Amino acid sequence: MPFKYYGGVHPDEMKQPHLAVSTIPQPSQVVIPLQMHIGAPCQPLVKVGDQVTMGQKIGDNPAPLCAPIHATVSGKVVAIEPRRHCVVGDLVPSIVIENDGLDTPCTDLAPLTEEELKNPEAIIQRIREAGVVGMGGAMFPTHFKIQGGRGKVDTLIINGAECEPYLNGDHRTMLEHPVELLKGIELVRIAQGVDTAYYGIEENKQDAIDLLNSLNPEQYGVVIVPEKVKYPQGAEKMQVKANTNREVKPGGIPSGVGCNVVSTFTAYSVYRACYEGRPLIERVLSVGGSAIEPANVLIRFGTPIQHVIDNLGGFKRPIDRIVLGGPMMGFASFDQSCGLIKGISGLLCFTEDENRDVEHPTCIRCGKCIEVCPMKLQPIHMYMYTQKKDYEAMQKFHVMDCFECGSCTYNCPGRLPLTPTFKMGKAMLKANDAKMRAKAEAAEKK
Amino acid sequence: MTEKMLYNVSGAPFVRSKTDTSTIMRDVLIALVPALAVAVWQFGLKALLNVVVSVVACVAFEYIYRKLMKKHDTIGDLSACVTGVLMVYCMPVGVSWWMIVLGAFFAIIVVKQLYGGIGKNFLNPALAGRAFLLSYPVAMTTYAIPSALSGVVDGETMATPLSYMYAGEALPEYFSLGNLFLGGISGCIGEVSALALILGGAYLLYRKVISWRIPVTFIGTVAVLTLVFGHEGYGNVEWMLLNLCSGGLMLGAIFMATDYCTSPVTPNGQLIFGVGCGILTVLIRYFGGYAEGVSYAILLMNLLTWAIDKATPQTQFGISKADKKVAEAEKKAEKAAVKAEKLQKQVEKLHAEGGHK
């Protein structure tokens, strides 16, 4: 029985879990940013004009917090130049590969041997080499998370909540590759050095829960935990609370309370890296919103956004916004020539009818933001003081501890831009902190 | 197909709940319909006319003020309609139309708009409008005979149950608990039927427009206090039930005290607010010169809303009771340390001065 936590909302699910994962023709060109993870950016390992194979490592960095990148198609490197990053928005060094359409596979990574599959070091090493990162959206290098948690972590939680509306990638993976998924979880569990992995799945995926339970998950050391359907069930801190009743301290991470949370598609990618020797070059992307035909498609990283839209029949209705990721925590896309990256789980095309923002947002002091904040913060006051740039009050109301789930903003009848303001407020506080520190240092020198 | 060159790139989240300010206000208006039905049944079409005059006046004042001040139009959020209905609900049926318009002016212009409009006022506009009109005490306390009692009571006007109860007189037989609950009593047009108001409250709870915290603590506090203290000549339980069903308690607790803008936003603050309203209501009823305590109780608590919010912050996720105690102890220690340092400096200073001499 999962444990309860305060707050949360119930957005319309809008999911299309019955649509099997399909493929679209590969693009003629892929644009792969040298940074698709949190940490040190990769250095290119290839030159313009080089022939590359599908899955060949093309970028890496010896820094510990880094995940390498791989060619997602075979062909020729035609450019290594700054291109716009679909999430960050800045120009970041990227590798552009002209697709030869052959998908010649790379044989650098062999499947792990029976013995290696039981060896935590070998698995962690392979996770790193395969460029596996947190596929829930944070893109934190998985090998670093597991390595960092070794010895500290006593509970491994696999995140199968998929609580964001519209997204089905994890659900489809559970239905289409249940055995591979369980084996992947087993590998993560062995690498983490724990006996049991708790697999938290929201109850709206009952078919997947039944299927996984019928496959005798105990033999892989996996326990399926059906969870209440509630956003943000899939947030790390909420998963830890629901599965273990432990609460991560403000500013802390799950390993601080002995837990590590790994997402479903990450575990599946670990399976493919270890059993099949395939690096992470593709993922399931859920396409939704009323301006486009819904689909769950397998896309290679670097595929331009426009290519996906075109191959699904283009826009059905006049488009208002394009969202990368889920509608609660995703990012608005501003340039459809950008390549898709590892952490993007959804591509949502919304019409104006789906936009409920208003011209004059007005707080009516209803307190509904406070009722739904899973971190038990007070968004109404955080908003007020962030707008006034009152740093002291912002800290007092813990603006830094907002993890931007968007529940308050979803629930706000006055339609205030709460979460975007907190994102800005966090940046402001960080900048102010740096300024104060510099000042203090300068004063000390005198 | 027309394609925009520039897409909308606002920040996440990109989906919003269907509930917005106008749907909330619409729900409140729907929840007020049963009480209106009782009002028309008991006091005739004049009750409906009063409501119409009040709503039109409130909306007109809001529209005109915003227009003159070159502010965006807000009548679409329906909050002025709610104010109009609620204000006239806590007046007797016999008030003249100009009093209603005057009350609407005070409520909308002075109490609401001068402070910035919806979400900014610190007093409940409807109650403030009523309080303002009580400067016409005769008109505001002359109660018509409801249709349920026509033929039972002689004359044109009559007193309310509360005035009998607190004048130390025995309650006339026709003020039975059943009549009080269903609405066959004299009083302000919207407050007579506890049943109609509870129905409305249940709808608001179901629609999640209000939470249980303020109404339950408000009514609960009044219930407990009247049950405990009782009154001469009445059984304690009877006294409690009479208190719950008379006066503006249900109307106030369900519709007025839950006004978003003038009640605390923190869950614990809402509990305190409800209890405070209950205590003040009972105090005014027992000791005030005026038997009706609800409206002033709420107005007084409105003034404390900001302080209550400040005093009842949420405890963050991840902070246990032990953590809280530690933090408090640390704060105390820090304060003590600062104080000690100050004293130390003072001592040093005195020593130095002593040395000079």
Residue-wise DSSP of B320-340: -HHHHHHHHHHHHHHHHHHHH
Contact A413 B316 (CB under 8 A): no
Mean pLDDT of B87-94: 94
Sheet holding A51-52, edge to edge: A29-33, A91-99, A75-84, A51-52
Q: Which helix (H) or strand (E) covers residue B278, if one does?
A: helix B267-287
Residues from chain A contacting residue B270 (CB–CB below 8 Å): 367
Torsion of CA A126, A127, A131, A135, to 10 degrees: 160
Please report whether residue B334 resides in a domain: no
* Residue A373 scores a pLDDT above 70: yes
Residues from chain A contacting residue B20 (CB–CB below 8 Å): 356, 358, 413-415
- Quote the strand ranges of A203-336, DSSP E: 222-227, 259-263, 282-288, 295-300, 321-324, 331-332
CATH 3.90.950.10, domain A116-275, yes or no? no
How many CA atoms does the CB half-sphere of A339 hold within 13 Å? 30
Please report whether residue B212 resides in a domain: yes
Closest Cα in chain A, distance from residue B337 (Å): 22
pTM of the model: 0.91
CATH code assigned at B235? 1.10.3430
Residues from chain A contacting residue B12 (CB–CB below 8 Å): 323, 327-332, 404, 406, 419-420
Give the bridge partners for A225, in sequence order. A200
Closest Cα in chain A, distance from residue B223 (Å): 27
DSSP A66-117: ---EE-SS-EEEEEEEEEE-TTT-SEEEEEEEEE-S--PBP-SSPPPPTTGG
Q: Which helix (H) or strand (E) covers residue B102, if one does?
A: helix B97-105
Contact B16 A357 (CB under 8 A): yes
Which of B12, B77, B261 has its CB closest to that of A331? Answer: B12
Categorize the per-residue pLDDT at B1 as very low, low, confident or very high, splitting at 50, 70 and 90. very low
Residues from chain A contacting residue B4 (CB–CB below 8 Å): 318-320
Please report whether residue B132 resides in a domain: yes
Contact A377 B314 (CB under 8 A): yes
Which of B14, B265, B316 has its CB closest to that of A350? Answer: B14
DSSP A38-64: SSSPPEE-S-TT-EE-BT-EEEE--SS
pLDDT given for residue B277 in this prediction? 97
Categorize the per-residue pLDDT at A270 as very low, low, confident or very high, splitting at 50, 70 and 90. very high
- Tell the residue number behind the tokens 């050095």, with chain if given: A193
Q: Does B260 touch chain A (CB under 8 A)?
A: yes
Which of B74, B117, B318 has its CB closest to that of A249? Answer: B318
Contact A411 B4 (CB under 8 A): no
Contact B12 A327 (CB under 8 A): yes
pLDDT given for residue B356 in this prediction? 61
Q: Does B274 touch chain A (CB under 8 A)?
A: no
Mean pLDDT of A136-161: 93
Categorize the per-residue pLDDT at B321 as very low, low, confident or very high, splitting at 50, 70 and 90. confident
Backbone angles phi, psi at A16, to 5 degrees: -125, 60
Categorize the per-residue pLDDT at B3 as very low, low, confident or very high, splitting at 50, 70 and 90. very low
Backbone angles phi, psi at B235, to 5 degrees: -70, 150
d(CA B207, CA B320) in angstroms, rounded, equals 32
Please report whether residue B96 resides in a domain: yes
Residues from chain A contacting residue B8 (CB–CB below 8 Å): 320-321, 332, 355
Contact B15 A398 (CB under 8 A): no
Q: Which residue of A has its CA nearest to B315?
A: A376
Q: Does B118 touch chain A (CB under 8 A)?
A: yes
Categorize the per-residue pLDDT at A334 as very low, low, confident or very high, splitting at 50, 70 and 90. confident
ipTM of this model? 0.90
Mean pLDDT of A269-283: 96
B33-43 helix and B21-31 helix, angle to the nearest 10 degrees: 30
Closest Cα in chain B, distance from residue A23 (Å): 26
Q: Which residue of B has its CA nearest to A324?
A: B12
Closest Cα in chain A, distance from residue B143 (Å): 35
Residues from chain A contacting residue B313 (CB–CB below 8 Å): 378, 397
Residues from chain A contacting residue B13 (CB–CB below 8 Å): 327-329, 406, 409-410, 419
Q: Which of A61, A52, A66 is nearest to A96 (CA)?
A: A52
Q: Does B69 touch chain A (CB under 8 A)?
A: no
Q: Which residue of A has its CA nearest to B122?
A: A365
One-letter identity of residue B283: L
* Residue A324 scores a pLDDT above 60: yes
Please report whether residue B259 resides in a domain: yes
pLDDT in tens, A79-103: 999 999 998 888 999 999 999 999 9
Please report whether residue B265 resides in a domain: yes
Q: Does B14 touch chain A (CB under 8 A)?
A: yes
Q: Does B121 touch chain A (CB under 8 A)?
A: no
Residues from chain B contacting residue A165 (CB–CB below 8 Å): 15
A206-214 helix and A178-192 helix, angle to the nearest 10 degrees: 70
d(CA B175, CA B165) in angstroms, rounded, equals 11
Contact B17 A404 (CB under 8 A): no
Please report whether residue B160 resides in a domain: yes
Sheet holding A43-44, edge to edge: A43-44, A57-60, A69-70
pLDDT given for residue A326 in this prediction? 94
* Mean pLDDT (chain B, rounded): 92
pLDDT in tens, A232-242: 999 999 999 99
* Mean pLDDT (chain A, rounded): 94
Residues from chain B contacting residue A334 (CB–CB below 8 Å): 7, 9
CB A29 within 8 A of CB A98: yes
CB A161 within 8 A of CB A201: yes
pLDDT in tens, B328-340: 899 899 999 999 9
d(CA B79, CA A173) in angstroms, rounded, equals 48
Residues from chain B contacting residue A137 (CB–CB below 8 Å): none
Q: Does B264 touch chain A (CB under 8 A)?
A: yes
pLDDT in tens, A419-432: 999 999 999 999 99
Closest Cα in chain B, distance from residue A446 (Å): 25
Closest Cα in chain B, distance from residue A163 (Å): 14
Q: Count of A–B CB contacts within 8 Å?
A: 168
Contact B3 A11 (CB under 8 A): no
Q: Which residue segment(s) compose the domain that B284 sits in?
A: 21-308
Contact A318 B24 (CB under 8 A): no
pLDDT in tens, B260-315: 999 999 999 999 999 999 999 999 999 987 767 899 999 999 999 999 999 999 99
Mean pLDDT of A113-127: 95
- CA-CA distances (angstroms) from residue B203 to A336, B191, B198? 47, 17, 9
Q: Which two tokens stand for residue B173?
A: 């037989």
d(CA A257, CA B80) in angstroms, rounded, equals 51
* Residue B202 scores a pLDDT above 70: yes
Residues from chain B contacting residue A328 (CB–CB below 8 Å): 12-15
Looking at chain A, the whole-number percentage of residues with pLDDT higher than 70 is: 100
Q: Which residue of A has its CA nearest to B313?
A: A378
Q: Which residue of A has its CA nearest to B21?
A: A413
Categorize the per-residue pLDDT at A12 as very low, low, confident or very high, splitting at 50, 70 and 90. very high
Residues from chain B contacting residue A375 (CB–CB below 8 Å): 316-318
Report the number of secondary-structure helices (H) and strands (E) in chain A: 13, 17
Closest Cα in chain A, distance from residue B302 (Å): 13
Mean pLDDT of A107-120: 93
Q: Which two tokens stand for residue B256?
A: 């007025």
Which of A331, A401, A414 has its CB closest to that of B316? Answer: A401
Sign of CA dihedral B340, B341, B344, B349: negative
Residues from chain B contacting residue A364 (CB–CB below 8 Å): 21, 24, 79, 118-119, 260-261
Contact A370 B314 (CB under 8 A): yes
Residues from chain B contacting residue A404 (CB–CB below 8 Å): 12
Closest Cα in chain A, distance from residue B306 (Å): 11
pLDDT given for residue B2 in this prediction? 42
How many CA atoms does the CB half-sphere of A387 hold within 13 Å? 10
Categorize the per-residue pLDDT at A231 as very low, low, confident or very high, splitting at 50, 70 and 90. very high
| Number of compact structural domains in chain B | 1
Residues from chain A contacting residue B77 (CB–CB below 8 Å): 362
Before B13, cis peptide (omega within 30)?
yes
d(CA B272, CA B277) in angstroms, rounded, equals 9
* Residue B136 scores a pLDDT above 80: yes
